[in-house]
Amino acid sequence: MTTTAVHPHAAADHEAHHELGWMRRYVFSTDHKVIGIQYGVTALLFLLFGFCLMLAMRWQIAYPLKPLGILSAIFGSENVKNGVMVPEFYNQLGAMHGTIMIFLGVVPLGVGAFGNYVVPLQIGAPDMAFPKLNMASYWVYFVGGVIMIVSFFVPQGAAQSGWTSYAPLASIAPLGQTYWLIGMIFLITSSLLGSVNFIVTIVQLRAPGMTLMRMPFFVWAQLVTSFLLLLAFPPLEVAGVLQLMDRLAGSSFFDPGGLVVSGEARLTSGGGNPLLWQHLFWFLAHPEVYVLILPGLGIIAEVIANNTRKPLWGYKSLVYSTIFLGIMSFIVWAHHMFITGMGTTMAAFFAATTMIISIPSIVILTAFLISLWGGSIRFTTPMLFALGFLPMFAIGGLTGLPLGLPAADIHLHDTYYVIGHFHYVVAPGSLFALFAGVYYWYPKVTGRTMSEFLGKLHFWPSFVLMNGIFLPMMFMGLGGALRRGYDPTEYVHSQATQGWNVISSWSAWLLGLVQIVFIINFFLSIKAGKKVGANPWHATTLEWSAPSPPPHGNFDEAPQAYRDPYDYDPAARNGFRAQADPAEA
């Protein structure tokens, strides 16, 4: 397979770069590393914010209608009456928690931060193919985030129709929903700009010798993710514009007409269909699940190979499974809609595709597990998070099976079982992988390591508490407890599982405390972390051949890939052969 040389103009530009002002270097930078850090810091802040929204919600869920105490003053008199959170504020917290964690937190961290920082380094490129587009992508994302935050302060608050924004509820919702839609249009535009950039960069800017099958698995994961973003997001962007038109311009794309809302006839032309929104939404939102998880799987592959000190088992299976997963993810979306009134034929089709897509997931998980066999496993902090990821991702994946079987879904749909399932995938799943990535590449970004002691103090309680939050949700879901309930004790069938909510909430609040350890470690290590050289983990891939932190243009010399990405071997010096090392090539 042929490879493409480093973009000649890009290299020349970097060699001839002149000193830029502070604003151009650190704020409106076109350097992929600075943009990666910008994405990373912004996404971590959004994750913290979205997480805090959930911590507030969990009070109302565990102790319905009990006063919030000192938090009442923070949320304001509109949102808290007589010390108790009001339902409309609870609905805002729910909708915005989902939106922020997914679109402003996990995806920008996995793709915008790690993808931006690591991909060009791993393929031996001096930067992304379109640096200005890259900068635009970040700032459009930033503006989208600001719009989402501002929406909390508009009359009647932020969006409150769930992160899924189903019409017609969203069409008739207060002003915050308009902000949500405009914010989403910015966020989607940002993702589209980014995905085009990643695809061109990976295809065009690979260093000599970096054939497709020599690319680290992380790069493959980012490539497939970019295609998912590029092909799945446009329908949602269109849907967002259509819902905006329904709200502002009197159209009725999602309004069938003849509605009577709060006793008043709603005068619209009608002719639309609420299910159209769901189809357009889930056409994005199911591939989005893989957008959330694939960068994480990429990180896990890097960390496992590095810390087992042996090549990744089944590299080709991993690559082909990931591509297959990406393709299949476009034809499973309606399994989120079994309960809308789907007939047997369509239910059978989407259930079958859902069962089929579980196979590559199992292949990937199995490859990671077998990669442990025969290794010399180092229990570093990144490895602990990677190892913690495996059983959690397994639970997340396995609990998708009953939801994908239409008959079982009748009972489980819209219950806490669904919440538990996808949170196992994205919280102790994706987020653990992203934490592994932070600990793993922190030395590359800063030239210093994070504290191993604090890292372990972060991991172990997080591992226990994540299960404390989400395992109870499985029991509650089996009991039939419905999601999105402001007061879960209103329905008698949910009272039988209400005790689990208390455990879940306390686990969440303690998890919040534990994250303080991470925050301290993250900032303290910038100055106090142990100074390290280019390759503190004795890793193989190209980014570890660049100085830590890499200079503008990334490499002191144009790199070349001489071998497969994971050439770990006890017989070699320090137990590995770097991809960029021509010796023994």
Partner 1 sequence: MLAAGYAWRLPLDASTHGGAIDALIHMVHWFMSLLFVGWGIFFVYCLVRFRQRAGHEAVVKLPKAKPSKLVELIVVIVEAVLLLGFSIPVWAQVRGSGHLPNPEDALVVRVVAEQFQWNIHYPGRDGVFGRTEQSMMGKENPVGLDRSDSDAKDDIVTINVMHVPVGKQILVHLTSKDVIHSFALPLLRIKQDVIPGMSTPIWFEAAKTTDAIRDAMARTYMVEAVDMSMLKNQVAMAPIEAEDGTVIVAERADITDTVLEAMKAAGVREIRAAPRVPTEIACAQLCGLTHYRMRGYLHIDTEKQFADWMTREEEFLAEEEEEDY
Hey, which residues between 368 and 397 contact partner 1 (CB under 8 A)?
369-370, 372-379, 387, 390-391, 394-395
Only segment of 164-172, 237-245, 291-299, 447-455 that touches partner 1 (CB under 8 A): 164-172
Chain positions 405 to 434 lying near partner 1, rule: CB under 8 A, are 405-408, 410-415
**Distance, CA of 116 to CA of 221 (rounded, Å):** 13
Cα–Cα nearest to 443, from 556, 312, 356, 531: 531
Which lies closer to partner 1 via its Cβ, residue 16 or residue 260?
A: 260
- Using DSSP's 3-state secondary structure scheme, residue 81 falls into strand
Chain positions 50 to 79 lying near partner 1, rule: CB under 8 A, are 63-64
234-251 burial, b at 16+ Cβ within 10 Å, e below that, comes to ebbbebbebbbbbbeeeb
Q: How far is CA 460 from CA 385, 386, 408, 427, 433, in A?
A: 9, 12, 34, 15, 15
How many other β-carbons are positioned within 10 Å of the β-carbon of residue 176? 25
Assess contact for 177 and 170: CB atoms under 8 A.
yes
Only segment of 123-131, 185-193, 422-430, 496-504 that touches partner 1 (CB under 8 A): 496-504
Binding mask 523-552 for partner 1 (x = CB under 8 A): ------------------------------
**Distance, CA of 577 to CA of 567 (rounded, Å):** 5
The least CB distance from residue 302 to partner 1, in Å, is 16
Question: Does 17 participate in binding partner 1 (rule CB under 8 A)?
Answer: no
Question: Does 303 participate in binding partner 1 (rule CB under 8 A)?
Answer: no
Q: Which of 341, 527, 557, 583: binder of partner 1 (CB under 8 A)?
A: 341
How many other β-carbons are positioned within 10 Å of the β-carbon of residue 270? 12
Which lies closer to partner 1 via its Cβ, residue 170 or residue 291?
A: 170
CA angle 143, 175, 189 (to 5 degrees): 30
Assess contact for 337 and 406: CB atoms under 8 A.
no
Which lies closer to partner 1 via its Cβ, residue 176 or residue 485?
A: 485
The least CB distance from residue 495 to partner 1, in Å, is 5
Q: Which of 27, 238, 401, 464: binder of partner 1 (CB under 8 A)?
A: 401
**Residues contacting residue 562 through CB under 8 Å, at least 6 positions apart:** 209, 579, 580, 581, 582, 585
Question: Does 482 participate in binding partner 1 (rule CB under 8 A)?
Answer: yes
Assess contact for 504 and 469: CB atoms under 8 A.
yes
Cα–Cα nearest to 113, from 296, 237, 387: 296
Question: Does 568 participate in binding partner 1 (rule CB under 8 A)?
Answer: yes
Residue 436 burial class via C-beta count within 10 angstroms: exposed 0-12, middle 13-18, buried 19 and up: buried
The least CB distance from residue 384 to partner 1, in Å, is 11
Q: Which of 4, 72, 204, 489: binder of partner 1 (CB under 8 A)?
A: 489
Which lies closer to partner 1 via its Cβ, residue 407 or residue 519?
A: 407
Q: Which of 490, 531, 547, 573: binder of partner 1 (CB under 8 A)?
A: 490
Q: Which of 70, 265, 267, 583: binder of partner 1 (CB under 8 A)?
A: 265
Which lies closer to partner 1 via its Cβ, residue 374 or residue 533?
A: 374
Chain positions 79 to 98 lying near partner 1, rule: CB under 8 A, are 87-88, 91
Which lies closer to partner 1 via its Cβ, residue 145 or residue 400?
A: 400
